[in-house]
Structure 1
Amino acid sequence: MRELDIAAMRAEYGGEPDMSESWLTDGWEPLLRRWLAEAATSGIAEPNAMVLATVDRTDDGPRPVSRTVLCKDLSSAGVIFYTHYDSAKGRQLADIPYASATFVWPALAHQVHLRGPVHAADDDVTAAYWRSRPRNSRLGAWASEQSRPIGSRAELDRLLSEAAARFEDVDDIPVPPRWGGYLLRPEMVEFWQGRRSRLHNRIRMRLDDSGATVAVERLQP
């Protein structure tokens, strides 16, 4: 196999009108919704995927940790995702309840970055989303001690089989006691639009504690 020339990898963006500050007149949520809808209709797999970054407080000092999660709700209050509270990210958020989330759609030359405090979602919000999950996804949440080491795939499959047997006669599988949603309430949102010659458009919004816009500023690429 020919060795990949990673340094030579690049894409040339452009095509749609230049993003302007006026696109954010109604706040950050409408534009994020529009770009998310465009990603969905473009056939991008899991267009609601976002890279979530948290902080791990180690003996050597704070360390960033990132992984991909799915945004499962969006409102003017922020973005919601779900996980086990005892997972790595759950423990990190309990210690330092602050995170960033980044949506990336290279095929559309769009990216959105949010940063702000994170709070546990209300129980009724978690319950409503839980009821919408496929049965096998609910069983998987019961079977997995997320982020904990496990000896083999066979052992994980066995845990899933045990969870299926446990709830075999239960139609409404309950929410696990240590599983639920988190709301990232942004205090900063940045929109990125790919442009030719790497002169990309970047517009950043700063928000106050109530979610009102404090400033809208264009950044150099």
Structure 2
Amino acid sequence: MKKLAALVAGLVAAAGGVYVVAAPAATADDCGGTYTIVVGGTGDNDSNAPYWSGNISQRVGYPAQPIGINARQGVNELNRLIRDHRNACPGQHVKAVGFSLGAAVVHTWVTENWQTFDNVNAVLIADPKRAAGPENAGVAGHPAVAPVIGAPLAGADNFFGNVPVLTLCTDDIICNLDARSGVPGYIWGAHGNYNFNVDAYSDDARGQWFNGVFIP
């Protein structure tokens, strides 16, 4: 796993520090249906990469580089946007969807806020903080990677309280260190083999899709 640690360390070095990124402007609150908020992966600073599709209500802006302090900014901004919207639309369901680094941001938000926030669910696509089972944990749980990236990005767990959470991981070393595709798979596109249409995931989805098999 030295190559994996070096890969992540290289990504962190490429980040070149901490950036301040303004959130995309929010539209006037629409309290009908589901409020779907998305958090993009590394490099997707405004969560507006072309892979996203479907009915997206809000995109989270944050410095999307794989280092703990930047992930913390993402968690804080996600929390601000969700709670501001809940104040405006107290009865509307919130669905938070994150990909890769963005999944770690959503993961952390759920862990920190499940006791004080209801009527919400989360979808974690290629979560680097994914807990082991089946197979190995995500890359953030690797002992050589965690000290490099720092909290709250470091570590792997499934501390979601009573919030419905759906996790997706398909032959992807970011969310499964034992993925058969390995580092070459990450480089050549295995990390993007997911459905990014947010409407594909229901408001009460929970469990795991792991290598194409659903595990309740």
TM-score, normalized by the shorter chain, greater than 0.5: no
| Short-chain TM bin | under 0.3
- Structure having the higher strand fraction is 1
TM-score in terms of structure 2 length = 0.28
TM-score in terms of structure 1 length = 0.27
Q: Which has the larger radius of gyration?
A: 1
